[in-house]
Each structure stands twice: as C-alpha cells, then as structure tokens.
Chain A
Amino acid sequence: MNGVHDMGGMHGMGAIHYEKNEPVFHARWESRVFALFRLTRAWNKWNVDVSRRQIESIPAAQYLRMSYYERWFTALGELLVASGLITRAELVKGKRARGSPKATPPITAAQVASMPSAAALARREAPVAPRFQAGQQVRARNLHPVDHTRLPRYARGKLGAIHRDHGVWAFPDAIAHFLSDKPQHVYSVRFAARELWGETASPRDAVYLDLWDDYLEPA
C-alpha cells in the first residue's frame, strides 16, 4: 500500500526531536496499550503483519496526527472486534455483553518473559530453495500492491546486490490476510545510495533492506 506509513525518503516531516532521559512510557495509558496489544495477540487471532496492516489502514491524516500508542490503541480495538474476541457494542460501552462466556487468559504473569517473539512466529522450516545467491545482482520489482507489503516504495525498481541470505520466512503480503504462509527466503539486499537517491548522494553510502524472494527479480 502506497500509504503514509511508507516514509522512507519523504521530505517535510520536520526536525528530529530528541528527548534526554526519555522514560520507557510517557503515561500509564501507553504502557497499558502496549501490554494489552502484546497479550491479546497470544489468542493467535492475528499475526504481526495483520496488526501492521491494521495500523497502516488508519487514514493518512489521522495517522500523522496520532501519537504512536494512540495508533496501537486504535488498531487494537479494530483487531479485537474483527477477530470476534469482543463485539463492537462491548468496545463502545466498555462492558461485557450479558451472557457472553468468560475465557481463561492464555498468558499468566509467570509466562510473560517466555512469550514467543514475532520473529519466532514468522520463521519457517520449509525446504524452499533460494532463488538468489550472495553477491548476485537483483532488482526490486516495481510493485504497487494496494494492501500490506514490506517492500518500501523508495526501493522499487532499483538495482541492488544480495548481501546475505536470512533463510526462510512467512510472506507478509500473504499472512496479513490470513492466507497461506507462502514461505520463502529473505535476503539482506544492498542498494547504493546513488542508485536510490541520485547523484547528490554519497558515492560510498548504501542502504540495506531485508527483502523477500517475491520482491526481487534477477538483474
């Protein structure tokens, strides 16, 4: 999706504001949103790409205006309703519907430290052959999917070289829709800064992206 979340290379976003001795959370509600988001995912009703897709679907103007955890909170409400864990009415009222069953939380306080990471959940053991080898020249495909993808706009159509093979992973463009995993290799691909940004970029600099097989073609 050519959304506003795909920010690499954009201008006009202003100066970087650095906060000294920044706390982990700026308010209690942020920490609660963070924890709610993490713990409800343990129901396995969605994966990390489904939740990213949900955040990316926030209309651009709102996305830019919202703080980080406000985006999480907005996405969480929608994910909970879409997955059937709660109803829209429950979300709005903040009250459990009369007669609705009471579940048992999947994660206890003692299990918090050993929850699987998004990486563990996305890695696949499938015996898929790599299409490319380290050192090989590749071109990022000129794709413009209308939905979730992890191929940033700024790299599309650009020439790079395979730096390293990271093994086999589930394909985000598919699992964001609960479709089959489409397991495939992910590679670290090196793009010269000048290939991406033109003559004014340093001839020495480079950007490395982690890209799935389906995002690449031989060059």
Chain B
Amino acid sequence: MKATRRGFLTAAGAAAAAQDHVHAQGHDHDHQAVPSDLTLRVKSLESLLVEKGLVDRAALDALVDRYEHAVGPRNGARVVARAWVDAGYKKRLLASAAAAMEELGFASQTGENLVAIENGPKVHNLVVCTLCSCYPWAVLGLPPVWYKSAPYRSRAVIDPRGVLREFGLELPEDAEVRVWDSTAELRYLVLPERPPGAEKLSEEALAALVTRDAMIGVAKVTLPQAGGRP
C-alpha cells in the first residue's frame, strides 16, 4: 500500500535525512515527505469508523479542539508563576504536583502523574523520552516535533550539554545536569529559575514569561529585554 513511496525512497537512511531536511524548513512543507495518499487514507479510515459507530465525529472535533486551544503550555506557566510568588505553593508542588494542580483549579486528574523538578543556580533539569514521545500533556499540551525526533531522543541522554548548547544554553562546568528519561507513566515538568529582575512583576506577568521550552528544560526564562521570547 506504500509501494509508490518505497520506490521513491530507496534507502532508509537517506529518507530519514530527507525528512530531517524537510523538518528544517520549519513551515507547512513539514510533512511533505509523507505519501500523497495519506490524507485520503486517514479520511477513509475516519469515515469507516464513524460509519461503524466506533467513534463519534463530534467527539473527534472536540478532542482536536481541546488540544489546539485548551490544553497547552499556558497551563504549565500558571503553575510555574504561582510557585515563584508563593514559597508554600512551590513546596507543595514539589511534594505533590497533583494536589498543587488542583489548588489552581485544574481537574483532579490533571496532575495525577506529574512530577515537578526544580532548577537552581547549580542544577539544571532536562526532560526527554528516549523510547517514544512521553510528555506532560496536561501542562504543556502535545510535544513539538523536535522533542519526538530521533536527534533529540538519541542525544539528550548521552550529550545533554551539547544538546543544550544547540538550544543556546551554555551551562557552567560546575553545574549538575539531570536528564529525566520518561520511561514509565510519570511525567516531568521543569520548574525553571525565576529570572533576575522580575521581582516586581505580577503573577500573571510572570506566567507570560514562562515558555514551553523552559518547562522542558532546553531554555531558561528571561525577561523580554534580556532576549527572552515575548
């Protein structure tokens, strides 16, 4: 069923490289390397499953909408900002993320398997899933392509400092890098350091500074004038 594509791409290595190249373009050509009939095949499977009463089309729409609009890194950023302004909350978050999420009004199951890990001046945490793509959906939404890609999954554990350097983060030699490989059903959220100079910002303004990347551990949180992403 994928004969056309197999014929087109003769070597897996070359193909993987080609796909990486495609990803490097970084826009909607991203998945050009997939078979041209894939869109049709997915449509066909969806129709079949709806026709058989195995899935509800409105539920499909609702689920997509939920992950495109409701669940995402803004959830995690709220948790981080609260931990920055409230030391008691931070303590509770590090002890039990589930209870801390509920405190902020998230549904009780949101943080059930979540573990918050704290960065400090001499400790930097980095999250990966070398075996597949495990990621803390409840607080960060669905993972970016690079997180699920072979280059990140293969290198994060053996060369975390090199990986961080590629993300523009040079860590001092005397800092400790802790890599968390999500091999079970626990999910990890990095609690980044509060940036210097942010003492006067409100909790809401702080939350706006917290990026997805900082909560994965591939970036620090910075103030906009210090080069942080707005």
Chain A residues with CB under 8 Å of chain B are: 5-11, 13-20, 22, 24-36, 38-40, 43, 48, 52, 55, 60-62, 64-68, 70, 73, 76-77, 80, 85-86, 90-92, 94-96, 100, 102-105, 107-114, 116-120, 122-123, 150-152, 154, 166, 169, 186, 188, 193, 196-197, 201-202, 204-212
- Shortest B73–chain A CB gap in Å is 11
Cβ A7 vs Cβ B59 within 8 A? no
- For the complex of A and B, 3 pairs with smallest distance between CB atoms: A94-B44, A61-B12, A8-B130
* B123-166, CB < 8 A from A: 128, 130-133, 137-138, 141-142, 144-146, 148-158, 160-161, 163, 166
A7 to B187, CA, bound (A): 19
For A119, give its contact among B20, B70, B185 (CB under 8 Å).
B185
Q: Given contacts A108-B59, A109-B59, A166-B184, is CB(A152)–CB(B154) below 8 Å? A: no
Shortest CB–CB separation between residue B127 and chain A, in angstroms? Answer: 10
B64 at interface by CB-CB < 8 Å: yes
How big is chain B's contact interface, by range?
35 or more
A55 touches B185 (CB 8 A): no
A65 touches B12 (CB 8 A): yes
CA distance A9 to B155 in the complex (A): 6
* In the complex, chain A residues whose CB is within 8 Å of the CB of B33: 65, 67
Partner of A205, one of B43, B55, B112, B176: B176
Cα–Cα distance between A164 and B17 once the two chains are bound (Å): 39
Q: Which of B23-31, B84-92, B197-205 contacts A (4 or more CB under 8 A)?
A: B23-31
- Taking a contact as CB atoms closer than 8 A, the residue among B54, B155, B187 that contacts A13 in the complex is B155
Excluding A6-B130, A117-B109, A154-B158, 15 further A-B contacts by CB distance (< 8 Å) are A8-B131, A13-B149, A13-B155, A19-B144, A25-B64, A26-B145, A36-B42, A65-B16, A96-B51, A96-B52, A104-B53, A109-B61, A117-B112, A117-B113, A210-B181
